[in-house]
Amino acid sequence: MQVLHSPSHRAHAPAFEFFRGERVPCFETPQRAEFVLQAFQARGHDIRAPQDDSSALLPQVHQPRYLAFLQSAWTQWLALDPSNGERQPFPSVWPVRSLRSDVEPDNFTARLGLYSMDNGSPLSAGTWVAAKAGADAAASAAGVLARGERRVFCLTRPPGHHAGADFMGGYCFINNAAVAAQALLGRGCQRVAVLDVDYHHGNGTQSIFYERADVLVTSLHGDPRTEYPFYLGHADECGAAAGLGFNLNLPLPAGAPVATWFDALETACARIRRFAPDALVVSLGLDTFAGDPISSFKLQASDFSRLGARLKRLQCPTAFVLEGGYAASELGINAANVADGFEQG
C-alpha cells in the first residue's frame, strides 16, 4: 500500500496536556507516528512524501478566520512575552451558549478559547507546520486515488476528526478526513463516504458535512453520554437540511464486546453500500484497542486485520487517515494489520 508520510509531524511536540483536570504528559506524541512508520517499513509498504499543497482546500473545510489564527497562534503567543517559548498556552474561557462568538477578542487567551472546544489540545511552536503537513497528505491521498490507485494510507499526526470548521479540540487542529473528502469531490467524485472508527466520535467531521448530501458520514464510537466529546455523537443526529439522512451515528457503551463492535461496523458498511460512494475516507482511530490508556473497547491486534478485510469488501477506492490510538508501541502493529487486511482481504 502507498503510505504518505512527512517528518514534519515531529514539529508538533507539546510536553503536557490537561486530562480530566490533571496536568499529565501528552498522550498524542511524535512517537505514535514513528511506531506506525516502522511497522509499515518492516512490512515493505511504499512510503512516499505528500506531493499536493492543501492551501486552496483548507478554506473549503475551515473558516478563514480560524485558519489565520491557527497559523499565527504561536507568533502571537511569543509576542506577549518572549519567554512564552518555554510555556504552553491553554484557553481558560469559552463563548458558550448566550455569549457571542462573532467578534474576535483582542486578548490572546480569549481568542484561543474562541477557537477551542476544550483545553486538551496543547499548542507548540510547530503545531501549524505539522497540521498543514497532515492536510497536504490528505489532499495528496485524493490525488493518488484519482490517478487510479484503490488504496492509500495517510500516516499523519496530529489527528483531525475533532476539528470543526472554526475550532480545534481533542488533539485536532485541521480535519484531515474532511480535507481528503473535499479534495476527492474536487477531483470529480460525486459522492464520498467517511467512515470513522475511532473510539471517540468525530464531532468535527460530522459538523462540517452535517447539511450536505454529497458526503455521507458514518461513525461507530463510545457513547457520548460517558465518553469524549460528550456533546455530539448521539444516534438521533441524522443530518439537517440537504444533509438529512446522510449522517449515521452508532454509539456503543464503554466496554462493548468485540462482536458488538463488528455488528455496528456491518450496519455502517450496509449504509455506505446503499450510498454507493465514488470513494471512501476512513478516519482510522486505533484507540479501540484493548490496551489503549484512554479508551475502553476490546479489539485485539487480529481484529484490525479483520477490519481491513471487511472494508476491502466494499470495493471502493479508499483513503485511510490516521486518527487516535495511544497505546503507542502497539499502534504500528495495529495500523499495519488494517493495511495488510485490506490488501489481502
Residue 108 has what pLDDT?
Answer: 97
Residue pair 284/335 in contact (Cβ under 8 Å)? The answer is: yes
What is the residue-wise DSSP string for 252-269? E-TT--HHHHHHHHHHHH
Averaged pLDDT, 55-61: 98
Residue 120 has what pLDDT?
Answer: 86
Q: Nine-digit cell at 123?
A: 499548542
Identify the band that residue 345 occupies on the pLDDT scale cut at 50, 70 and 90.
confident
User: Which residue of the set 5, 162, 200, 221 is catalytic?
Assistant: 162
In the chain, what percentage of residues exceed pLDDT 90? 96
Active-site residue, 161 included: no
Identify the band that residue 146 occupies on the pLDDT scale cut at 50, 70 and 90.
very high
Element containing residue 282 per DSSP (H, E): strand 279-284
The C-alpha atoms of residue 104 and residue 143 are separated, in whole angstroms, by: 36
State the average pLDDT for the chain. Answer: 97
Q: Per-residue pLDDT for 80 more than 80? A: yes
Neighbours of 260 (CB within 10 A): 15
- Total number of residues shown for the chain: 345
The C-alpha atoms of residue 154 and residue 51 are separated, in whole angstroms, by: 12
Q: Per-residue pLDDT for 34 more than 80? A: yes
Side chain identity at 191, as an amino acid letter?
R
181 versus 329: the higher-pLDDT residue is 181
Averaged pLDDT, 79-91: 95
Q: Which homologous superfamily is 2-52+128-344 in?
A: Histone deacetylase domain (3.40.800.20)
3-state helix, strand and coil shares in percent for the chain, rounded to the nearest 5: 40, 15, 45
Residue 21 has what pLDDT?
Answer: 81
Q: Per-residue pLDDT for 191 more than 90? A: yes
The DSSP bridge partners found for residue 148 are none
Averaged pLDDT, 6-16: 96
Identify the band that residue 93 occupies on the pLDDT scale cut at 50, 70 and 90.
very high
Map residue 192 onto helix, strand or coil: strand
Identify the band that residue 259 occupies on the pLDDT scale cut at 50, 70 and 90.
very high
Residue 83 has what pLDDT?
Answer: 97
In the chain, what percentage of residues exceed pLDDT 70? 100
Identify the band that residue 328 occupies on the pLDDT scale cut at 50, 70 and 90.
confident
Question: 36-48: per-residue pLDDT in tens?
Answer: 999 999 999 999 9
